[in-house]
Structure 1
């Protein structure tokens, strides 16, 4: 071991001198493509050898820190609470990297017999590949992650077969002659081996997953409510499909056209605006908001008090008209903006309650459904989907927006309603897009930062209307 330490110290000094000399003055800028790629490959090989020393050392630290007498543990003798703290202090790593080394060491660490001699690792072939620098910490975890947990349920001989095959794939010495497998490919292959060997493992894993599932809503703060939890894989997959369908704009579906009677060229071209400043996390939020809105309006959810699940937002009439002040959401302590109330009211149901100066209820109005299902179908036929060019959200996922606001006397009529996705509907007032109705046909104008000379354009993605347009032009 002393010789290894001497070699490591010497290698570090040599590597430091060469790296400082070669990279310090920017020589890599003059390197050829082959030299850059070769440097990357050699550095990765050196990193894998370093990973071997790290994993082996962390495994031994864990073994020496697992005794029943706390005072005799290596961690206690170094003044650390646990293995993670010792590793972080010795390596300057963060807790996540320290945890990865601990996980990786479980499958390849040597044991100690009663006589003090070494016992073979659980995955000896993978250990050999690690020591030879053929597999690093990513590949190690990719293989040992699926295999190590089932060691108590699967015969050791079967586990060793999977270990040998996967180690050969990692080294590029498999029977099919494929090149060394990357970590992601090793993970897939290891999961297949685990599923084949551990037929009874699915049920306890399913039970564990059912216990761990859950979603928690935090306390509203700074205008948002924190959301955290764990989804079952199939639920997460369904949510991802919804996000893919809603949150991934398609360019070119927002087709502009020239209605009957307009001048040649008016409203033609430049239809495929595509500018979405939202982050991926914001897109997932908006997809969830859309899915919740669609589900609540589907009339297929269980009722509450005899009515469909309804989001109740209260706001003073003068605040709603002036777009100032606050609104209050039933079930959430923190108030929201009047704009949020206007967005919900535009797509939902409004009921007016008149209170006297002393707080007495003087009049309760009837619920006014903004657009009925017949109007919605007609608007969907006319617009096809969200009318903002380049958005691409389908009609079934859209809300109906009053072009002239309902609170300002805008009628609940097809000549005053257009399809907008949740995102564009929520932020239409300050997103820069303008909408107007021209003889019952919606027109939009892009923000100046998207189009140098914005102009009004009729828009639709309705396949029926586009087919009719083509027929008229031909």
Structure 2
């Protein structure tokens, strides 16, 4: 390999690749040898051999146990110089398409060979951390992962992965001091030869480790052989992408594991979790966790189904043409669908109580702030203030209870809870609207909130003639978004994109005209 000369090749006018390996080898102290480059012409491509050509092998460094450290260090230093030269001079922009297609996988193999050395050196940290002789723990490192992360400037996640893969593909030492073979010899061979990357190797190691103690060793080794061939490719098939390797591993494990999928399900149930993080300065709450397969699939289907626009037969072509594009990102749409689901959940009659009351959130606001355009309130347990617009939306769906305090904070009177729309009123509005009244929105009625068209603080009445169904996303933006609502004669009308005039909303999708009799 000739790093300074772009693998010793250059493009002639006809796209032919010519190698000058002898001169390059003499300059760099490498073996000379026969010309191993293929002739590449536009439209014709023959892959380079997987075996490293002789002229690309190191010379003058014969390692033995007595000199292996000095020899290996010399190889590393020379390799760094050669690779630095390669990066600086072997720019791919000037290559023909055929040459580029030939070089790209070879450069990847080069990186994998470096990765092989990375993981074996990382795994050695596990042996050295608590060693009674020449321990790296004496240097102040608390763990092997900590040492690798600090010394290589990678994340602890990546350090742990390197240690895990390296431990599976490196030679070991028995309790008696005798050398032992790698735990997974086929994976080890593929990694050392640069045929399999660390990402794929890590998947194989983790998944095979999970079943190694309960499956037949012969079956485990056969699965390892087949999976390595799939991950690294063969003469008859190219290597699989990493995500496909993961699928194949699961299929093989199901075939050889006598317990089937049950152990994995048990492990998954133990790891299930949902975490709510610390509130940000903007009032956002980070969400993270791990959902079981069925819960995650249900949530995904739910979010996908209701965050994509759906056409209904009762919307004619003219109406469909006037439906404005949804300017929300997919992530924002999924958030709003989740908000609809949660809003519906707190209205369920049999919903569990929290401290003796509904799990619906509580907002505290003064009478003066509620009357002000710029007033704010506070959601119980949250530090970020919320605007009057948000408070009104919450009053629409959750009601209001008046508490009178004196200047010292003593409670003087407690009014009865006022639900802005009763269950009977909501059922009537659902029968009339059938779902969110904004054109093009398909959120079902059960997920919608009832909105005061004339705001409650502006004297709007809690009456069916002043209430319409809105999904969380449109309810949240109704005052600042493009849509406007009115209720002439108790019938919802909208005005907005594609509807410059006040237009009555479509009737409930469940409503059908009754047949005439007589």
User: What's the TM-score, normalizing by structure 2?
Assistant: 0.72
Counterparts of 1:320-331 in structure 2, within 5 Å, are: 320-331=370-381
* Partner SS state of residue 475, structure 2: helix
**2-structure distance, mates of 1:309, 1:275:** 32
**1-structure distance, mates of 2:80, 2:271:** 45
* Partner SS state of residue 368, structure 1: coil
Which entry has the higher C-alpha Rg, 1 or 2?
A: 2
Residues 92, 197 of structure 1: alpha-carbon distance in 2 compared, 3 angstrom cutoff: same
**2-structure distance, mates of 1:365, 1:403:** 25
Return the match for 1:108 from 169, 173, 185. Answer: 169
Counterparts of 1:53-452 in structure 2, within 5 Å, are: 53-67=117-131, 69=132, 72-73=134-135, 75-76=136-137, 80-113=141-174, 116-173=177-234, 178-200=237-259, 209-217=268-276, 220=279, 222=281, 223-246=283-306, 248-250=307-309, 269-277=321-329, 280=331, 282-303=332-353, 308-332=358-382, 335-354=385-404, 364-380=414-430, 382-438=432-488, 440-446=491-497
Q: CA deviation at 1:182?
A: 1.6
> Alpha carbon RMSD of aligned pairs, Å?
3.8
Q: CA deviation at 1:147?
A: 0.8
Residues 139-191 of structure 1, C-alpha deviation per residue, up to 9 Å, x if partnerless?
101211111133333343232122112112123349xx543222111112222
1:45 aligns to 2:113 (yes or no) = no
Residues 195, 65 of structure 1: alpha-carbon distance in 2 compared, 3 angstrom cutoff: farther
**1-structure distance, mates of 2:483, 2:169:** 59
Residues 118, 224 of structure 1: alpha-carbon distance in 2 compared, 3 angstrom cutoff: same
**2-structure distance, mates of 1:56, 1:144:** 14
Residues 112, 288 of structure 1: alpha-carbon distance in 2 compared, 3 angstrom cutoff: same
Unpaired runs of 5+ residues, structure 1, are: 259-264, 469-474
8 Å contact kept, 2:434–2:508: yes
Q: CA deviation at 1:365?
A: 4.3
Return the match for 1:21 from 83, 89, 105. Answer: 89
Provide the residue aligned with 1:471 in structure 2.
Answer: none
Residues 9-32 of structure 1, C-alpha deviation per residue, up to 9 Å, x if partnerless?
444433432332243xxx62x656
| Greater relative CO, 1 or 2 (CA 8 Å, sep 6+) | 1
**2-structure distance, mates of 1:461, 1:168:** 61
Residues 444, 253 of structure 1: alpha-carbon distance in 2 compared, 3 angstrom cutoff: farther
Residues 396, 218 of structure 1: alpha-carbon distance in 2 compared, 3 angstrom cutoff: same
User: What's the TM-score, normalizing by structure 1?
Assistant: 0.78
Q: CA deviation at 1:36?
A: 5.1
Unpaired runs of 5+ residues, structure 2, are: 1-62, 514-518
Residues 328, 156 of structure 1: alpha-carbon distance in 2 compared, 3 angstrom cutoff: same
Q: CA deviation at 1:348?
A: 2.0
Residues 433-457 of structure 1, C-alpha deviation per residue, up to 9 Å, x if partnerless?
43334551331324xxxx8x96655
Residues 254, 41 of structure 1: alpha-carbon distance in 2 compared, 3 angstrom cutoff: farther
Residues 461, 272 of structure 1: alpha-carbon distance in 2 compared, 3 angstrom cutoff: farther
Residues 205, 464 of structure 1: alpha-carbon distance in 2 compared, 3 angstrom cutoff: closer
8 Å contact kept, 1:301–1:308: yes
**2-structure distance, mates of 1:117, 1:338:** 75
Q: CA deviation at 1:425?
A: 1.5
Bigger shift: residues 405-414 or 218-227: 218-227
Provide the residue aligned with 1:472 in structure 2.
Answer: none
Q: CA deviation at 1:198?
A: 3.8
**2-structure distance, mates of 1:464, 1:443:** 20
Residues 306, 89 of structure 1: alpha-carbon distance in 2 compared, 3 angstrom cutoff: closer
Residues 269, 289 of structure 1: alpha-carbon distance in 2 compared, 3 angstrom cutoff: closer
8 Å contact kept, 1:251–1:272: no
8 Å contact kept, 1:252–1:272: no
Residues 87, 251 of structure 1: alpha-carbon distance in 2 compared, 3 angstrom cutoff: same
Residues 241-298 of structure 1, C-alpha deviation per residue, up to 9 Å, x if partnerless?
333234x24176799779xxxxxx9x88432422114x72x55544443322111112
Q: CA deviation at 1:346?
A: 1.2
8 Å contact kept, 1:444–1:458: no
